[in-house]
Structure 1
Amino acid sequence: MHNYFTFKEIQEQPELLKKVLNKEKEIKKILPLTDRERVAFIGCGSSYYLPMAVAYHVRRKMNIPAYAFTGFGTFRYPNTRFEKNKDYFIIAISRSGESSETVSALESLKDKTHFKTASVTCEAGSTITKLSDTSLILEFVNEKSIVMTQSTTSMILSLQIAMEDKGLEVIPELLKEVFDNASDSFDILNLNAFEHFIYLGYDEYLGIANEGALKIREMALSNSETYETLEYRHGPKSLATKGSLIFFLPSSESFKEE
């Protein structure tokens, strides 16, 4: 297992996140989120689910209307996503900077008066950097695995820095502690006993839940689902069996109800 790219890249995250934290001034300059009328994130796959979580957080923390849109949805259906004659700060997210739908979305928004664009990527010189007014490039993230891990966490931390979240400096050490204790948790869970995985959460945690379920599908080729927590009671729970493992991602605000 230790010879796999994905495992190695997961283990490298604490050190990479320290590098992200060291880019604080640059991040805040490139991604100024304060005083924005509206923010819209654009991405595909993991690069859509991570801004889904961030958009909820922007609304909650900064009281700014914020949205997460898929690349193709933005390109093909802009009228159902953007209000006419309103200003938007667009942040396109793509590990490679070449995701075709995200590229198409940026091309469709280019030179429009009410849109300022920025991109977040791991690849300098990629297409989305050329289409954006400004770009944050996490050049030290160089994944060989198809599955996004350290790129996802590095980009979401960058966006948290842009939002001026507090206490972020402890994340690398906390993550290292999680890794140090992971083997014990895996032994207790006995994940091989399950064939069906459900992730539940609200708002920021719904975005993370979607990403968790995607990782199960991509890496374990297993059936996984995502719902807002209490929505799982209304029909989907009928598919639960002894082979189902349910992950709750509760927030402090709704922990009791969830």
Structure 2
Amino acid sequence: MESKAIQVLAWKATKDIVKYGEELPKRLPEAYKKFWNEWKVKEPTPVHWIPRAEKWIRNPEHGVVSLVQNVPIPVKYPKEHNQGLWGGEGIVKGFQKRNPNSRRIPHYWFPILKRSVVYSEILNKHIAVVVTDRTLSLIAENNGFDNYILKTPACDLKSDLALKIKRKLLLALLDKNFYPEDGKKREEVFNKYKSFMLPKEEADWYGLTYKEALAKLIRKEVEDNKPKPLKIQYRMELIERLKEKSLLPEEETSSWTSKLNPFSSKTVQPSA
């Protein structure tokens, strides 16, 4: 019942996140901020364009030297891409001139999507997922699906599905709960991927969306601030008092503590 109440409270709190202003996001842990920087701030690998390595370029016609402008091509990522592994590909909008004598017209270039099956060695599962040819090429280049997911930063994985899989792989490496019936295989797989391990807190916050992170933070704060029974408080205070009295002479300590401790083997007889 308590866990259900906490879930309801967290849902109500995140339903209208505007009322929290700027205070709640500030309380997010550094582990999530580190993931956020990797996901939203870090520059992704160019997919639909090739940046020039030089800083300056000379125009061959008139010889004027100008600064190279490496401007990324705008790419659209529809919500459907969160359900697949597109390898960084998206929808590109531009113009196309189909006839030399006609005006250019708007055109969209869509990635070629296909349904495929990938295998996770850590999870020991086959996963049916929508991919692109680039995704399959990256998996082959990295010698397996798990290597591709664990090596690729969040800004290049992009999709929610890819990030959730990576989070699951990181937690599995920490818990070491794969291949429960085959210890030899478990050690073999663990040694193969242990270089990708993250600290517990970082792995726990990795791959969460902004709303999921806020909901997790609220649940944690509600759990930490739950009222504790007074008997626990009194018990701790009594223990502290007993520790303080233990600094007194031995005879006085034994006499004083025996009056408070009903489970003591030696009890003090009341004086006549």
Give TM-score, length-normalised by structure 2: 0.24
More strand by share: 1
Normalising by structure 1, we get a TM-score of: 0.25
Greater Rg, structure 1 or structure 2? Answer: 2
